Amino acid sequence: MTPKPILFVDHAAALGGAEKSLLLLMQHLDRQQWQPHLACVEGELRIAATAVNIPTHPITLPRLRKSTSFIKNLRQAANDIAQIAQGIGAVLLHSNTIRAAMYTAVTAQTTKLPFIWHMRDFWLSETIPNRLWLDRWGKRWLCNAATVVIANSHAVAAQIPCAQKVRVVHNGIDLERFGETSALSAAETAVSPTFRHQFNIPLDVPLVGTVGRLRPWKGQDRFIRIAAEIAKSIPSAHFVIVGGSPFQVNDGFEKKLHQLAAKHNLTNRITFTGHLQDVGSALRALDIFVHAGAPEPFGLVNVEAMAMGKPVVAFAHGALP
Protein backbone atom coordinates (compact mmCIF):
# COMPACT_ATOMS: atom_id res chain seq x y z
CA MET A 1 0.00 0.00 0.00
CA THR A 2 1.36 3.41 -0.97
CA PRO A 3 0.96 5.87 1.93
CA LYS A 4 -1.27 8.84 1.21
CA PRO A 5 0.27 12.30 1.73
CA ILE A 6 -1.21 14.67 4.31
CA LEU A 7 -0.13 18.31 4.28
CA PHE A 8 0.07 19.82 7.79
CA VAL A 9 0.31 23.61 8.05
CA ASP A 10 1.67 25.63 10.99
CA HIS A 11 2.73 29.29 11.13
CA ALA A 12 4.97 29.24 14.24
CA ALA A 13 8.76 29.39 14.04
CA ALA A 14 9.25 28.41 17.70
CA LEU A 15 8.14 25.26 19.52
CA GLY A 16 5.07 25.95 21.62
CA GLY A 17 2.72 23.35 23.06
CA ALA A 18 0.73 23.19 19.81
CA GLU A 19 3.88 22.54 17.79
CA LYS A 20 5.17 19.85 20.16
CA SER A 21 1.79 18.14 19.98
CA LEU A 22 1.84 18.37 16.18
CA LEU A 23 5.28 16.76 16.00
CA LEU A 24 4.06 13.81 18.07
CA LEU A 25 0.94 13.50 15.91
CA MET A 26 2.95 13.42 12.69
CA GLN A 27 5.56 11.01 14.10
CA HIS A 28 2.99 8.47 15.27
CA LEU A 29 0.74 8.30 12.23
CA ASP A 30 0.55 4.88 10.64
CA ARG A 31 3.22 5.34 7.96
CA GLN A 32 1.86 2.41 5.96
CA GLN A 33 -1.27 4.47 5.36
CA TRP A 34 -0.18 8.10 5.69
CA GLN A 35 2.86 10.20 4.80
CA PRO A 36 2.97 13.49 6.72
CA HIS A 37 4.38 16.63 5.11
CA LEU A 38 4.75 19.95 6.91
CA ALA A 39 4.39 23.43 5.41
CA CYS A 40 5.85 25.92 7.85
CA VAL A 41 8.11 28.94 8.23
CA GLU A 42 11.84 28.69 8.86
CA GLY A 43 12.65 28.08 12.52
CA GLU A 44 12.72 25.54 15.33
CA LEU A 45 9.61 23.69 14.18
CA ARG A 46 11.01 23.00 10.73
CA ILE A 47 14.35 21.89 12.22
CA ALA A 48 12.60 19.54 14.67
CA ALA A 49 10.39 18.04 11.95
CA THR A 50 13.36 17.48 9.65
CA ALA A 51 15.20 15.73 12.50
CA VAL A 52 12.45 13.08 12.69
CA ASN A 53 12.38 12.59 8.90
CA ILE A 54 9.21 14.52 8.14
CA PRO A 55 9.44 16.28 4.76
CA THR A 56 9.10 20.06 5.20
CA HIS A 57 8.18 22.82 2.78
CA PRO A 58 9.17 26.41 3.63
CA ILE A 59 6.35 28.90 3.37
CA THR A 60 5.56 32.46 4.41
CA LEU A 61 2.40 32.98 6.48
CA PRO A 62 2.24 36.70 7.35
CA ARG A 63 0.31 37.99 10.34
CA LEU A 64 -3.29 38.70 9.32
CA ARG A 65 -4.58 40.68 12.28
CA LYS A 66 -4.25 44.45 11.68
CA SER A 67 -2.60 43.77 8.32
CA THR A 68 -3.00 46.40 5.61
CA SER A 69 -2.56 43.66 2.98
CA PHE A 70 -5.03 41.16 4.42
CA ILE A 71 -6.62 39.97 1.15
CA LYS A 72 -3.33 39.96 -0.78
CA ASN A 73 -1.53 37.95 1.90
CA LEU A 74 -4.43 35.54 2.25
CA ARG A 75 -4.58 34.80 -1.47
CA GLN A 76 -0.81 34.52 -1.94
CA ALA A 77 -0.19 32.15 0.97
CA ALA A 78 -3.26 30.05 0.14
CA ASN A 79 -1.96 29.71 -3.41
CA ASP A 80 1.47 28.67 -2.09
CA ILE A 81 -0.14 26.00 0.12
CA ALA A 82 -2.17 24.78 -2.86
CA GLN A 83 0.98 24.42 -4.97
CA ILE A 84 2.70 22.40 -2.25
CA ALA A 85 -0.37 20.20 -1.84
CA GLN A 86 -0.54 19.60 -5.58
CA GLY A 87 3.18 18.90 -5.77
CA ILE A 88 3.06 16.14 -3.14
CA GLY A 89 -0.33 14.79 -4.20
CA ALA A 90 -1.91 15.58 -0.83
CA VAL A 91 -5.26 13.95 -0.09
CA LEU A 92 -5.90 16.00 3.04
CA LEU A 93 -5.06 19.42 4.54
CA HIS A 94 -4.57 19.88 8.28
CA SER A 95 -4.09 23.26 9.98
CA ASN A 96 -2.47 23.28 13.40
CA THR A 97 -2.73 26.95 14.41
CA ILE A 98 -5.35 29.63 13.98
CA ARG A 99 -3.35 31.70 11.50
CA ALA A 100 -2.61 28.57 9.50
CA ALA A 101 -6.32 27.69 9.59
CA MET A 102 -7.29 30.96 7.92
CA TYR A 103 -4.89 30.36 5.04
CA THR A 104 -5.62 26.63 4.75
CA ALA A 105 -9.38 27.21 4.70
CA VAL A 106 -9.00 29.32 1.55
CA THR A 107 -6.76 26.64 0.04
CA ALA A 108 -9.40 23.99 0.76
CA GLN A 109 -12.09 26.06 -0.92
CA THR A 110 -10.04 26.41 -4.11
CA THR A 111 -8.56 22.89 -4.25
CA LYS A 112 -11.66 21.06 -2.95
CA LEU A 113 -9.40 18.97 -0.70
CA PRO A 114 -10.76 17.75 2.65
CA PHE A 115 -9.68 20.13 5.42
CA ILE A 116 -9.16 19.41 9.12
CA TRP A 117 -9.22 22.50 11.33
CA HIS A 118 -7.36 21.60 14.53
CA MET A 119 -8.58 24.06 17.16
CA ARG A 120 -6.40 24.35 20.27
CA ASP A 121 -7.70 27.64 21.74
CA PHE A 122 -10.93 29.12 23.02
CA TRP A 123 -10.80 32.08 20.65
CA LEU A 124 -9.21 33.12 17.38
CA SER A 125 -6.88 35.32 19.42
CA GLU A 126 -4.57 34.63 22.36
CA THR A 127 -6.98 36.10 24.91
CA ILE A 128 -10.69 36.93 24.91
CA PRO A 129 -11.24 39.25 21.92
CA ASN A 130 -12.57 42.78 22.16
CA ARG A 131 -14.99 42.02 19.32
CA LEU A 132 -16.70 38.76 20.21
CA TRP A 133 -18.95 39.05 17.16
CA LEU A 134 -15.88 38.94 14.91
CA ASP A 135 -14.61 35.84 16.71
CA ARG A 136 -17.98 34.13 16.25
CA TRP A 137 -18.03 35.10 12.56
CA GLY A 138 -14.52 33.76 12.01
CA LYS A 139 -15.35 30.45 13.69
CA ARG A 140 -18.48 30.03 11.58
CA TRP A 141 -16.45 30.71 8.43
CA LEU A 142 -13.83 28.13 9.42
CA CYS A 143 -16.58 25.65 10.32
CA ASN A 144 -18.07 26.01 6.84
CA ALA A 145 -14.67 25.42 5.23
CA ALA A 146 -13.70 22.46 7.40
CA THR A 147 -14.60 18.84 6.73
CA VAL A 148 -13.87 17.96 10.36
CA VAL A 149 -12.87 20.07 13.38
CA ILE A 150 -10.55 18.58 16.00
CA ALA A 151 -10.77 20.18 19.45
CA ASN A 152 -8.10 19.37 22.00
CA SER A 153 -10.60 19.37 24.89
CA HIS A 154 -14.32 19.38 25.59
CA ALA A 155 -13.91 22.93 26.92
CA VAL A 156 -12.64 24.07 23.51
CA ALA A 157 -15.27 22.03 21.67
CA ALA A 158 -17.98 23.94 23.53
CA GLN A 159 -16.76 27.17 21.91
CA ILE A 160 -17.03 25.89 18.32
CA PRO A 161 -20.34 26.64 16.54
CA CYS A 162 -20.54 23.43 14.47
CA ALA A 163 -20.86 20.67 17.05
CA GLN A 164 -21.76 18.08 14.40
CA LYS A 165 -18.29 18.43 12.85
CA VAL A 166 -16.28 18.46 16.08
CA ARG A 167 -14.24 15.54 17.39
CA VAL A 168 -12.39 15.83 20.71
CA VAL A 169 -8.85 14.45 20.51
CA HIS A 170 -6.74 15.18 23.57
CA ASN A 171 -3.07 16.07 23.15
CA GLY A 172 -0.66 13.18 23.53
CA ILE A 173 2.63 13.16 25.40
CA ASP A 174 5.88 11.24 24.98
CA LEU A 175 6.13 8.86 27.92
CA GLU A 176 9.79 8.22 27.12
CA ARG A 177 10.40 11.82 28.20
CA PHE A 178 7.51 12.34 30.61
CA GLY A 179 6.55 9.38 32.73
CA GLU A 180 7.24 7.81 36.09
CA THR A 181 9.35 5.08 34.51
CA SER A 182 11.58 7.64 32.83
CA ALA A 183 11.79 9.62 36.06
CA LEU A 184 12.99 6.52 37.92
CA SER A 185 15.50 5.30 35.35
CA ALA A 186 19.17 5.35 36.25
CA ALA A 187 19.96 7.80 33.48
CA GLU A 188 17.33 10.28 34.63
CA THR A 189 17.66 10.24 38.41
CA ALA A 190 20.72 12.47 38.17
CA VAL A 191 18.83 15.16 36.25
CA SER A 192 16.99 16.75 39.19
CA PRO A 193 20.14 17.48 41.22
CA THR A 194 21.67 18.80 38.00
CA PHE A 195 18.75 21.19 37.53
CA ARG A 196 19.01 22.41 41.12
CA HIS A 197 22.77 22.81 40.82
CA GLN A 198 22.38 24.67 37.55
CA PHE A 199 20.15 27.28 39.16
CA ASN A 200 21.78 27.24 42.62
CA ILE A 201 18.75 25.73 44.36
CA PRO A 202 19.59 23.71 47.50
CA LEU A 203 18.93 19.98 47.16
CA ASP A 204 17.15 19.65 50.50
CA VAL A 205 14.48 22.38 50.22
CA PRO A 206 10.88 21.84 49.07
CA LEU A 207 10.67 23.10 45.48
CA VAL A 208 7.38 24.44 44.11
CA GLY A 209 7.22 25.56 40.51
CA THR A 210 5.21 26.61 37.51
CA VAL A 211 6.06 26.13 33.83
CA GLY A 212 4.83 28.12 30.85
CA ARG A 213 5.44 31.02 28.51
CA LEU A 214 5.68 34.33 30.35
CA ARG A 215 2.29 35.67 29.39
CA PRO A 216 -0.30 37.31 31.70
CA TRP A 217 -2.88 34.58 31.09
CA LYS A 218 -0.39 31.92 32.21
CA GLY A 219 -0.66 33.35 35.73
CA GLN A 220 2.94 33.76 36.84
CA ASP A 221 1.94 36.93 38.72
CA ARG A 222 -0.69 34.95 40.64
CA PHE A 223 1.91 32.25 41.33
CA ILE A 224 4.17 34.85 42.96
CA ARG A 225 1.36 36.07 45.22
CA ILE A 226 0.63 32.44 46.17
CA ALA A 227 4.33 31.89 46.86
CA ALA A 228 4.34 34.89 49.20
CA GLU A 229 1.58 33.29 51.29
CA ILE A 230 3.21 29.85 51.31
CA ALA A 231 6.57 31.32 52.31
CA LYS A 232 5.03 32.63 55.54
CA SER A 233 4.20 29.14 56.78
CA ILE A 234 7.01 27.18 55.08
CA PRO A 235 10.14 29.31 55.37
CA SER A 236 12.34 26.66 53.75
CA ALA A 237 10.30 26.48 50.53
CA HIS A 238 11.87 27.65 47.28
CA PHE A 239 9.96 28.60 44.14
CA VAL A 240 10.81 28.41 40.45
CA ILE A 241 9.22 30.02 37.38
CA VAL A 242 10.21 28.16 34.23
CA GLY A 243 9.52 29.97 30.98
CA GLY A 244 10.43 32.81 28.70
CA SER A 245 9.11 34.31 25.49
CA PRO A 246 9.94 31.90 22.63
CA PHE A 247 7.63 33.86 20.32
CA GLN A 248 9.51 37.09 21.08
CA VAL A 249 6.66 38.99 22.74
CA ASN A 250 8.18 42.00 24.47
CA ASP A 251 5.44 43.58 26.58
CA GLY A 252 7.32 44.17 29.84
CA PHE A 253 5.54 41.32 31.62
CA GLU A 254 8.77 39.64 32.74
CA LYS A 255 10.01 42.89 34.28
CA LYS A 256 6.73 43.22 36.16
CA LEU A 257 7.15 39.71 37.56
CA HIS A 258 10.60 40.51 38.93
CA GLN A 259 9.23 43.69 40.48
CA LEU A 260 6.37 41.75 42.07
CA ALA A 261 8.80 39.19 43.52
CA ALA A 262 10.86 42.01 45.02
CA LYS A 263 7.74 43.65 46.44
CA HIS A 264 6.96 40.44 48.34
CA ASN A 265 10.58 40.00 49.49
CA LEU A 266 10.96 36.86 47.39
CA THR A 267 13.92 37.86 45.23
CA ASN A 268 16.12 35.23 46.87
CA ARG A 269 13.33 32.66 47.12
CA ILE A 270 12.14 32.63 43.48
CA THR A 271 14.30 31.43 40.60
CA PHE A 272 13.50 32.57 37.05
CA THR A 273 15.04 30.07 34.61
CA GLY A 274 14.05 31.74 31.35
CA HIS A 275 12.98 29.65 28.37
CA LEU A 276 14.08 26.00 28.51
CA GLN A 277 13.96 23.84 25.41
CA ASP A 278 13.31 20.73 27.53
CA VAL A 279 11.16 21.27 30.63
CA GLY A 280 11.43 17.63 31.69
CA SER A 281 14.43 18.26 33.92
CA ALA A 282 12.62 21.13 35.65
CA LEU A 283 9.45 19.09 36.24
CA ARG A 284 11.52 16.20 37.55
CA ALA A 285 13.18 18.49 40.10
CA LEU A 286 9.88 19.81 41.51
CA ASP A 287 8.12 18.57 44.62
CA ILE A 288 4.85 20.29 43.63
CA PHE A 289 3.71 21.69 40.28
CA VAL A 290 1.32 24.66 40.30
CA HIS A 291 -0.78 25.98 37.42
CA ALA A 292 -2.17 29.34 38.49
CA GLY A 293 -3.21 30.72 35.10
CA ALA A 294 -6.42 31.60 33.36
CA PRO A 295 -8.68 28.85 31.94
CA GLU A 296 -6.56 26.55 29.76
CA PRO A 297 -7.77 25.14 26.45
CA PHE A 298 -5.78 22.02 27.32
CA GLY A 299 -2.77 22.68 29.59
CA LEU A 300 -0.19 20.21 28.27
CA VAL A 301 2.35 20.79 31.05
CA ASN A 302 -0.20 19.72 33.68
CA VAL A 303 -0.49 16.33 31.99
CA GLU A 304 3.30 16.07 31.66
CA ALA A 305 3.70 16.75 35.38
CA MET A 306 1.01 14.20 36.28
CA ALA A 307 2.63 11.60 34.04
CA MET A 308 5.85 12.09 36.01
CA GLY A 309 4.00 11.44 39.27
CA LYS A 310 4.13 15.04 40.49
CA PRO A 311 1.35 16.50 42.67
CA VAL A 312 -0.44 19.13 40.59
CA VAL A 313 -2.31 22.10 42.04
CA ALA A 314 -4.52 23.96 39.56
CA PHE A 315 -7.80 25.84 39.33
CA ALA A 316 -10.86 23.86 38.27
CA HIS A 317 -11.62 25.81 35.13
CA GLY A 318 -11.26 25.44 31.37
CA ALA A 319 -10.03 22.03 30.27
CA LEU A 320 -8.27 21.17 33.52
CA PRO A 321 -11.17 19.43 35.28
Q: Hey, where are the domains in the chain?
A: 4-168, 180-314
Give the span between the Cα atoms of 140 and 93, in whole angstroms.
19
Residue 257 burial (10 A CB sphere; 0-12, 13-18, 19+): buried
pLDDT higher than 50, residue 187: no
pLDDT higher than 50, residue 25: yes
**DSSP letters of 92-155?**
EEEE-SHHHHHHHHHHHHHH---EEEEE-SSSSSSS--S-HHHHHHHHHHHHHH-SEEEESSHH
Beta-strand relationship, 207-211 and 166-168: unpaired
**Maximum CA pair distance of the chain?**
65
CATH class of 4-168: alpha beta
pLDDT higher than 90, residue 227: yes
Instruction: Quickly name the fold that domain 180-314 has.
Output: Rossmann fold (3.40.50)
pLDDT higher than 80, residue 91: yes
CA distances from 175 to 147, 162, 304, 308 (A): 31, 33, 9, 9
Over residues 12-29, the mean pLDDT reads 93
Specify the pLDDT at position 190: 45
CA distances from 143 to 52, 147, 158, 165, 222 (A): 32, 8, 13, 8, 35
* pLDDT tens-digit series, residues 261-296: 999 999 999 999 999 988 999 999 999 999 999 999
pLDDT higher than 60, residue 168: yes
Q: What percent of the chain has pLDDT over 70?
A: 95
Specify the pLDDT at position 66: 75
* pLDDT tens-digit series, residues 127-147: 899 999 999 999 999 999 999
Specify the pLDDT at position 188: 47
Q: Which residues of 285-308 are buried (b: 16+ CB within 10 A; e: fewer)?
A: bbebbbbbbbebbbbbbbbbbbbb
Specify the pLDDT at position 65: 79
Distance between alpha carbon 305 and the CA centroid of its chain, in Å?
15
Give the span between the Cα atoms of 101 and 105, in whole angstroms.
6
Over residues 190-216, the mean pLDDT reads 88
Q: Would you say 5 and 88 are in contact if contact means Cβ atoms under 8 Å apart? A: yes
pLDDT higher than 90, residue 211: yes
Q: Check for a shared fold between 4-168 and 180-314.
A: yes
Give the mean pLDDT of the chain.
Answer: 93
Higher pLDDT, 192 or 79: 79
Give the span between the Cα atoms of 167 and 154, in whole angstroms.
9
Q: Residue 140 carries which side chain, given as an amino acid letter?
A: R
Please tell me what DSSP assigns to residue 317: -
Q: Would you say 155 and 318 are in contact if contact means Cβ atoms under 8 Å apart? A: yes
Over residues 20-45, the mean pLDDT reads 96
What residues contact 76, with CB distance under 8 A and at least 6 apart? none
